[in-house]
Structure 1
Amino acid sequence: MLYMEISSWEPQNRDKILEHFKEIKVPAGITIVNQWVDLTGSRYFILYECDDAEAFAAFNLPWSDVCYIESVPVMESTKFMSLMSKK
């Protein structure tokens, strides 16, 4: 399943966030599709594939002390429309 995550943080946590990025380890079971940084600051977007709840938790838990994470399961719109048209 694909997940779009939006991570946001308080400006005072910027240095902690930078340290986390330097040490990021992507667990087995996570395939990163792409990543983006909000140039106005304090947000990060990542699109990744994951079908393993343990990998999902291992990927997100280390960030819980420095940022807020909103995870949204997503699907390409053409695939979604194809599925819906079959109903």
Structure 2
Amino acid sequence: MLFMAISTWKPENRDDIMEHFKELKVPSGITIKNQWVDLTGGRYFILFETDDPESYGAFNLPWSDVCEIDCVPVMESAEFMKLMNKHQ
């Protein structure tokens, strides 16, 4: 399943965020599809795939001390429309 995580941090946590990035290790079971940084600062977007709840937690939990993570399951819109058409 695909997930979009949006991490948001306060300006005073910037240095802590940078340290976390230096130590980032992606757990097995997580496949990163793409990543983006908000050029105005304070936000990071990551699209990743996993079917493993343990990997999901191991990937997100270490960040909970320095930022808020809003992580939602996502699907490409064309795929979603096909799915919805099947159920009409």
Into which bin does the TM-score normalised by the smaller protein fall?
over 0.9
Number of residue pairs matched by the alignment:
87
Matches within 5 A, 1:26-37: 26-37=26-37
Q: TM-score, normalised by structure 2?
A: 0.98
**1:18-64 alpha-carbon deviations (Å, 9 max, x no partner):** 00001100000000000000000000000000100000000011100
Gaps of 5+ in 1: none
- For residue 68 of structure 1, what is the amino acid of its counterpart? E
Q: Residue 73 of structure 1: SS of its match in structure 2?
A: strand
- Structure 1 CA distance, aligned partners of 2:86 and 2:73? 21
- For residue 75 of structure 1, what is the amino acid of its counterpart? M
Q: Residue 32 of structure 1: SS of its match in structure 2?
A: strand
- For residue 53 of structure 2, what is the amino acid of its counterpart? A
Q: Are residue 38 (structure 1) and residue 38 (structure 2) matched?
A: yes
2:19 corresponding residue in structure 1: 19
Percent identical among aligned pairs is 71
Q: Are residue 74 (structure 1) and residue 85 (structure 2) matched?
A: no
Q: How large is the Cα RMSD of the aligned pairs?
A: 0.4
2:62 corresponding residue in structure 1: 62
Q: TM-score, normalised by structure 1?
A: 0.99
Structure 1 stretches of 4+ with a deviation exceeding 6 A read none
